[in-house]
Each structure stands twice: as structure tokens, then as C-alpha cells.
Structure 1
């Protein structure tokens, strides 16, 4: 598929991107409340809006979405303390309000958007299995030739998204997503802090293992390194440090 494909690039009209957040849930493996990851919303939002794109935020159920605590720059852990883009988003009332009342993904008119970007966080690993409306909408974008993107644990959508012929969308595609080496790092961190018994994993399954199991060509570039890859109109980003690069690839694919 060429970058000049009219389905991907129409310079005569303003490009529109739907960013999807997972609704909040509780992890059955840890008992913790989980949600989306701030930088996987805010960094793509910043890149895309700076390039003149219109961005709308949706979720499978609609309504208020909650972020994973450690993705908040104000969290006592200090894990995301240097994330000034997310802090600016949170501190801007007009922007912070966008996650308070998201629209349902069923409200997305695919004909009126150029791309869909599914953000990650911990919630997708538990919530997306039952989010059949999101599976269908993601495939609708893909089969319409629109840019179809998933980031970090948002790549969990590819475990479930099936084309109209019944084949898994990701089968035979080159993809990335949260890597095993990063899952190992996360597991060891919570074990060292005595937040979970050693040997009990944060995630119920792993993106890297599952993508390979379903027949995708999974690749990654190492621990916490920014990375995004395009295969046709499917774009995937490795983890939460890849939000800007993933959005840049979406924009470039759309001709911006």
C-alpha cells in the first residue's frame, strides 16, 4: 500500500483521528484498579494536534476513564514525574475534561475519520476481551483502508480482532507491543517492592508471546526504547515511551 494511497492521504481536508482509551476495571491478577496510561493518550494527542489533526477520544463503554496511577506525574511513586506533556494535559481543564465523558466507540463514523489509535495501560489486558464493539470498529477501520493503530498493551486488541473472513487481523503482519523483557522488568519491580508474591505476574498473558502464537511477526528494539512499526495500514507501538513516535508514524502515513 503506497503512502499516496487516497484512502490514507487526502490533503484537501483536515485529518481526523479517534483515540481509544480502555474503560477502568480491576485486575483479577493483582486486585488493583487499572486503566489507561496517560502518556499513551497525551503524547499522541500533542503530536497530532500540533500537526493540525482533529482528535476525538472514545472508549468501549463511553463515560469517564481512569488512568493507571503510576502514569500520573503527580503520583507519589515518581515513576512519571518527568512527563511534562501529561502534566500539561492534566493541568489544562479543557483537555482533562476529555477523559471525563468519552463517547462510545459505536458512535464513531469510520467514514469521517482517517485513523484509529488504541492506547494502552493495564486495563486493555483484562477489558478488551469482552469489548466486541471495539473489535468490530478496529476491523472496520482496517478493512476500509484507514490507518489502524495500537500502542503498548493496547496491542491486546490484536488478540481478538478478526477480519470479515474470520482470519485474525494480525496473522502474518509485522507488529510490536509491550515486550517480554519489559514484562520481566515490571514483574521484578513489584516483587522487589513486595507488592506481589514472587512468581505472581502482573499480567495474565504477554503481548509478545500471544502475537507470535497467532502467527504475527513480532519485533521489538529492547527495554524501554521508543519504537513503532508499520505494515500496510496497520501501525503498532512498543510501549509507553513510544507514544510520540507512534503518532509521528500515523501522521506520516496520512501525509503530514
Structure 2
């Protein structure tokens, strides 16, 4: 098998990447409004555009998307106040407008793109189960030999992605995603604030546990460390601090 067979990208044209962000939802565990995470969109977007790629933004249902509040650098919590890349994106009207009217994944033609990147945030954990068109599109990228990437809770897609033969796409693959130690940290944070009873968890299930159960070789780099891994044309990033690392692996896989 030649490199061309593995990665059918026309080097004579700018490479094209589809970034998928989650539609707004309400958490069934906390009752909070949840959405996508800014840095998981903006950091890859910057890396790809600086590499000369064309980038389009999609969501499973299309339309206006909402970020998780704590991912906004302007949020009173101050959690993301040092995220100057996201602040620059938000403060640029042309870019900020991109999340106001996203294209539905049903309009995403695999033949027109070289890679798909599924960003996270909290919403994927509650909405991706029914996003069947996204499941099919992600697998179509992978089976076409194109780059299929996901990061943080966007790796929830791997719980549902099945190959044409019915096997889990992730079986036998080395991957990462939001780690149990990070879920523990998040749970303890909301418990300490009294925002959630100690018998409740922020997330309805856990990425690390589910990927292992599906036969993946799950690895991680430790609490809140930027980390991404590539296994062939499958790329995964650990959490919201891994956007640049994930983009770098995608660029590496595309050969430029």
C-alpha cells in the first residue's frame, strides 16, 4: 500500500479541514446549559489556517452554537482568562460569526475535505449518541484513508463509531481522550462548591472507561497536560489544553 492510498490528499490544492462543534444542550446530570469548548475550536483553527489550510465549521444539527461558559475568556470564573487565542477569535467579528450559523454535518461532503476534527465541550456527552449522521461521516473519513480526529469529550464519537464490518472503529487503536483523573478533578470541584451532591457526577459516563471497554489502547499524559496521539489516520487529543497538539498531529498526518 502506498502513502497515496493511505492519505489521498491532492497536494496541488490547499488542504481542507472540517471542524465539528457540538450543538447546545442541557446536561441531564447537572441541569446546566452545555455546549462546545472554545479552545478546542480556536486553537486548531489557528494552527490549520497558519498552515495555509481552508477550514469550515459544522455541527451535527447546524445553526447557532453556544460555548460552555467556563471556556469563554470573559467568563467571571476566570477559568479561561489566559486563553488569548480564543479571545482573539471572539473579538474578530468575521470569526465569531462562524459559530452563529454553522453548517449541518449532513452537508459535509467527505470528498471535499482532507480531515475531520470533532471538538469537545460538555455537550457531546449528552448529544452525540443520537448524532448518527456524525457517526457515519466520521467513519467515512476514516475508511476513505482521510484523517479522522477528535479531542477531549469530542472523543465521545468513538463510543458510537462503527466500521462497515460492524466492529468499533477504536478497537485495537491507541487513543486518548478526557481522562478519569480529570473527571475526578471536575467532580471534586463541583462537589466542593456545593453545586452537585456527592452521589452525582458531572458526566453521565467516562471516556477512558468506555474506550477501554471497546478494546482501545487508551493512554494519557496526566492531569491537564496537553497531549495528542496518532494511530495511522486516527488522531485523538486528551482534553481542552490539547487543541494545538491535536492540530499538529493532524498536520503531520496530512504530510504538511
Name the structure 2 match of 1:44. Answer: 44
Name the structure 2 match of 1:53. Answer: 53
Name the structure 1 match of 2:159. Answer: 159
TM-score by length of structure 1 reads: 0.98
For the 8 Å contact 2:6–2:145, the answer to whether it is kept is no
Structure 1 pair 2/37, CA: closer, same or farther in 2 (3 Å)?
farther
The alpha carbon displacement at 1:103 in A equals 0.3
For residues 161-215 of structure 1, the C-alpha deviation after alignment (integer angstroms, 9 at most, x for no partner) is 1111111111111100000000000000111111111231000000000000111
Q: Which runs of at least 4 in structure 1 moved beyond 4 Å after TM superposition?
A: 1-6
Name the structure 2 match of 1:108. Answer: 108
For residues 214-252 of structure 1, the C-alpha deviation after alignment (integer angstroms, 9 at most, x for no partner) is 111100010000110011110000000000010011011
Aligned 1:62-141 pairs, distance under 5 A: 62-141=62-141
Provide the C-alpha distance between the structure 1 equivalents of 2:158 and 2:6, rounded to a whole number of angstroms. Answer: 25
Deviates further, 129-138 or 189-198: 189-198
The alpha carbon displacement at 1:5 in A equals 5.2
Aligned 1:191-206 pairs, distance under 5 A: 191-206=191-206
The alpha carbon displacement at 1:3 in A equals 6.0
Name the structure 2 match of 1:187. Answer: 187
Provide the C-alpha distance between the structure 2 equivalents of 1:4 and 1:226, rounded to a whole number of angstroms. Answer: 30
Provide the C-alpha distance between the structure 2 equivalents of 1:2 and 1:243, rounded to a whole number of angstroms. Answer: 29
For the 8 Å contact 1:9–1:255, the answer to whether it is kept is no
Return 5+ residue gaps in structure 1 as ranges.
Answer: none
Name the structure 2 match of 1:145. Answer: 145
For the 8 Å contact 1:8–1:253, the answer to whether it is kept is no
| RMSD (Å), alpha carbons | 1.2
For the 8 Å contact 2:190–2:196, the answer to whether it is kept is yes
For the 8 Å contact 1:230–1:236, the answer to whether it is kept is yes
Name the structure 1 match of 2:209. Answer: 209
Provide the C-alpha distance between the structure 1 equivalents of 2:9 and 2:127, rounded to a whole number of angstroms. Answer: 32
Deviates further, 145-154 or 196-205: 196-205
Return 5+ residue gaps in structure 2 as ranges.
Answer: none
Name the structure 2 match of 1:16. Answer: 16
Give the SS at the match of 1:236: strand
Name the structure 1 match of 2:249. Answer: 249
For the 8 Å contact 1:3–1:254, the answer to whether it is kept is no
Deviates further, 1-10 or 100-109: 1-10
For residues 115-149 of structure 1, the C-alpha deviation after alignment (integer angstroms, 9 at most, x for no partner) is 00000000000000000010000011011100000
For the 8 Å contact 1:8–1:254, the answer to whether it is kept is no
